[in-house]
Chain A
Amino acid sequence: MSLLNNLEHPTDARIWRGDLPVYHRYTAGVAGEKFLRALKDQGAVYGTRCPTCGYVYVPARLYCERDATHLDDSTWAPVGPAGALVSFSAVWVDLDGKRLDAPQWVGLVRLKGASSVLMHYLQTPTGALHAGMTVQAVLKPANERVGSITDIAYFKPL
């Protein structure tokens, strides 16, 4: 039986099942590794400042994507932990598309000293957010940090 026979139930079709074993490892990279280690071990957020154009990348990058300048160790500097909320949104569905009871707030934060924005969770008990307000990174306790951007638990209004 195949789909071309007039089947009463689609499950009557004879099908051959398979599964492609595809498995990824995605490394943080040279700059990403250093950035995440600093977040985990020092609780500090680092950026790299391009000596050619002055743009400050957060998270830190290995090279400037605007002029291809190599951003060596001398360009690394801590930013934040406070910054300006550039934009924000309420998310009502989870990663599987399931509806949430309460919204998850996410926002773009330009940390103090940074040129680029960082996307992260916002914690807001009152829901009173506005673009331009000052927010601050809240880090997880040192023993819970694993070297991930979620070592910053969330940003909260100051």
Chain B
Amino acid sequence: MEHLVYPSKGLSEQAFEKREVLFETWHVKAEYAWDTGVAIGKYLAELKEGRIVGRRCFKCKRVMVPPRMFCEHCFRPTDEWAYVQDIGTVKTFSLCYVRWDMVRLTEPEIPAVIDLDGASRGMGIMHKLGAVDSRAVKIGMRVQAVWKPPAERTGSITDIAYFKPL
């Protein structure tokens, strides 16, 4: 079979940087826009106003955050909007010494799941804790949202800068 193997060579990053080989480059324009839908669209619009909205199902009585238009338990449409508080309880958390882009940190970021007051059990939202000593964070700790100033809000979950101990 050796006669079927044609000469080739592996290329290093250096071969490209030093232009040792001829090559073409192409940057694909792969932009997209994702429609947030009725429920998340309203959720994000309300965040911009400094409020957290959920959705209530009359059958199972749950208040779901983030909101959805369909109850996956009862298999029926949800019924009404329901505001919940920006105060909640730390359900679980992590001390993260590596940033999303793999940069090491001396002070950890503290992602946490927070059960908001007014939302049903198991509806914890994921956010970050701040203004707290990382060693003092405990499960069950009461926390409150720290909102960005209205002018800086864009209709995003990051309109809440972080949650701080109450």
Contacts and interface: CB of A to CB of B under 8 A. Distances in A.
Interface of A: 1-5, 13-28, 30, 32-33, 36-37, 62-63, 68, 70, 147-148
A23 B8 CA distance: 23
A17 B33 CA distance: 4
Contacts of B35: 2-3, 13-15
Contacts of B16: 25
A32 B6 CA distance: 14
14 contacts: A14-B155, A20-B30, A22-B28, A22-B30, A23-B27, A25-B24, A25-B25, A28-B22, A28-B23, A30-B6, A30-B9, A37-B22, A62-B7, A147-B22
Given A23-B27, A68-B4, A70-B6, A16 B22 contact: no
Contacts of A26: 23-26
Given A15-B33, A28-B23, A68-B4, 10 more contacts: A14-B35, A14-B40, A14-B44, A22-B27, A23-B26, A24-B24, A27-B11, A27-B21, A33-B22, A62-B6
Contact of A24 (B7, B28, B32, B41): B28
Contacts of B9: 30
Interface residues of B, number: 31
Contact of A32 (B22, B28, B31, B45): B22
B34 A15 contact: yes
Contacts of A70: 3, 6
A70 B21 CA distance: 22
B25 to A, nearest CB: 6
A30 B21 CA distance: 10
Contacts of B8: 30
A24 B42 CA distance: 39
B45 A1 contact: yes
Contacts of A3: 35
Contacts of A23: 25-28
What are the 4 tightest A-B residue pairs by CB atom distance, in nearest-first order?
A20-B30, A2-B41, A22-B28, A14-B41
A27 B36 contact: no
B38 interface: yes
Contacts of B45: 1, 14
